[in-house]
Amino acid sequence: MMDSGLKGLEAVLAIARRGSFRAAALDLGVSTTALSHTIGRLEATLGVRLFNRTTRSVSLSDAGHRFVEQIAPAVAEIRMAMETAQSLRRTPSGLLRINASVQAGREIAPQVMAFLRRFPDMQVDLVTEGRLVDIVAEGFDLGLRPADLVPRDMIALSLGSPQRYAVVASPDWVAANPMPLTPADLPLQDCIRVRLPNGALFPWQFERGGETVQVDAKGRLTLDEALIARTAVLDGAGIGFFIEQDVADDIAAGRMVRLLEDWTPPRPGFSLYYPGRRNPSAGFTAFLSMVREAAARNAKDGGAR
């Protein structure tokens, strides 16, 4: 069925091409009566007769000839644009825009690389930033944040990897200071403060056996970038509070010592989220499918362990 906005123009071109209402109606998949009514409404709107009709023949009027010459190129371009748009539903191609936190961007990056290898006609624009944006208003297809930060009106897909915080210090700091056994033992003046994108200072949250404790860092150093905070801890500037994956290699290599590990239980991982869509592009659908597959593998591997 033709788009209603093009029905009249397509009808004129079909009749001009076939020289017959009956043949044109067959091409368009409509009845001869319906086609005649469409042309009648268009002629009434334009105020001119486009076709000279008798019981035996149909021919374009002078106005009809001029009309066809002018609309034919435009209709062809519109038809091509519609076919191009429809092809995006069949073959993954075009641009996919994703907004994520820095840590979430690192989490999704391997899947983005795999997606681009699998679909060479796709492009991905991955924007990482601290602030939580309105992905619809700012033109993103997908967002990626910790599960507890996903807006309620979005459809969310868990990546299946739980996160943990890690409290760390350098070996030199540990050698020079008593080892804290509970959050209350932390020397607050040595706790590096972290500023959130909204300007608030990040509170350190601890939990063990159902007991929850919040600590407000009082250190002399305040930062808003995890990489700089990592460098400060390695330099012995104090104690840092990180997402575990950001310092896992340092802990494994002995460059950092983990503190209060039994007070930092797993927390919800990252979720990919998006508004509801009726007609998603093939690229959008393919990326979600890959993420679901990876999340299922992660969940399976986690269960096996």
Structure token pair of residue 218: 């009082």
Q: Between 3.40.309.10, 3.40.50.2300, 3.60.15.10, 3.40.190.290, what CATH number should domain 165-263 receive?
A: 3.40.190.290
Report phi then psi at 279, rounded to 5: -130, 75
Domain over 7-87 is classified CATH 1.20.90.10: no
Residue of 249, 250, 180 lying closest to 215 (CA atoms) = 180
Cβ-Cβ contacts under 8 Å for 142 (sequence gap 6 or more): 96, 97, 98, 99, 135, 272, 273, 274, 284, 287
Predicted local confidence at residue 6, as pLDDT: 75
pTM exceeding 0.85: no
Q: pLDDT below 50 — which residues of the chain?
A: 1-4, 303-305
Predicted local confidence at residue 4, as pLDDT: 40
CATH code of the domain made up of 94-161+269-304: 3.40.190.10
Predicted local confidence at residue 86, as pLDDT: 63
Asked, colleague to colleague, whether 7-87 and 94-161+269-304 share their fold, the answer is no
List the chain domain ranges: 7-87, 94-161+269-304, 165-263
- The Cα 297–Cα 111 span in angstroms is 13
Predicted local confidence at residue 85, as pLDDT: 65
